Amino acid sequence: MWADGSGLERITKMSWLLGLVTKNPAVLAYIAGIAFICGLGAGAYPAWKYQGALKDAVQSKYDSFVAQTKADGVAAIKVATAKEASDKLNKEKSDEQIKVMGDELSVLSSQLYNSRASRGYLPKARSGTKRPGVVCLSRAKLDAILGQIDAAGKDIALQRDRAQLGLYVSCQWAKER
């Protein structure tokens, strides 16, 4: 290696660099800085590009997720609004149906009560009884008491029928949902 002089040239070149560094220590800092910049350019730039591509991929996935979530939210709001409007319409129909049927029930109940009240609550006295106005009490008093009981019973029965009607219509409405 030294026979042709090539190794000697290397040593002299290295000694020139060694002499330069020992004479001016700032040159070592410049050489280290240049080596750092070359290393940074060789390794950091590709890493920066790779990380940038990964960031762009993640950002596009995130953007598509946000867009899909917004679209799903808007669709859910539309469906909920339509369902709410349908439920409101069904409730109005049910309320109207309950009102009409309740009115019919009141009329029917009044007709039944009036037909029974007009005939009297006690059967007619047998023919040939000595005192047809008295059974064990006064016939008029007993008839009035039975009329009061019948009127109270009519109100109770009417309330029960209305509640039963409301429950029936509510069950029908729930089945339609």
- Give the helix, strand, coil percentages of the chain, each rounded to 5: 85, 0, 15
One digit per residue, the tens of pLDDT, for the chain of length 177 reads 445 555 555 556 667 667 777 777 787 788 888 888 887 777 777 877 888 888 889 999 999 999 999 999 999 999 999 999 988 888 888 888 888 887 887 787 777 777 766 666 566 666 776 666 655 566 677 777 777 877 777 777 778 877 888 778 777 777 776
- Other C-beta atoms lying within 10 Å of the C-beta of residue 117: 15
- CA diameter of the chain: 168
The token duo for 148 is: 């009061």
The token duo for 3 is: 């026979």
Rounded-to-integer distance, Cα 26 and Cα 101, Å: 104
Q: What is the pTM of this model?
A: 0.41
Q: In terms of Cα–Cα distance, which of 111, 107, 139, 137 is closest to 123?
A: 139
